[in-house]
Amino acid sequence: MPVPMDPELKSLIKRAAARTHLSQAAVMRTALRIGVPEVIRSFEARPGGSLFNIAPWTDAELARAYSNRKVDPDYQTAANIKGQSFPRD
């Protein structure tokens, strides 16, 4: 499968092939086998990053939060409380 690459990377692969006495294709295959798992570890989403691990507010906390009408006069308390429920799996 042809893969477009910048000249610097192409040169690096060419030098690696010369030093290891492997073909450039073998260097690419080996580098992918070694490097792709590391790329996955570096860029995959971390588990537990959702907000569903936060406990819903108590009645006292809700009352205090929604008592300040200066912040937003369009409070929909029932809708906001529903938004705190846990997702269905």
Give the separation between CA 56 and CA 58, rounded to whole angstroms. 7
| pLDDT the model gives residue 83 | 63
Residue 7: the pLDDT is 92
C-alpha dist (Å) from residue 55 to 49, 51, 84, 87: 15, 9, 8, 13
Residues 6+ apart with CB under 8 A from 87: 52
Specify whether the CB–CB gap between 16 and 29 falls below 8 A.
no
List CB contacts of 26: < 8 A, sequence separation 6 or more.
Answer: 17
pLDDT in tens, 16-65: 999 999 999 999 999 999 999 888 888 877 665 566 667 777 888 877 77
* 51 in Cβ contact with 78 (< 8 Å): no
Quick one: DSSP state of residue 47? T
Residue 84 confidence (pLDDT): 62
- Domain map (residue ranges) of the chain: 7-43, 56-82
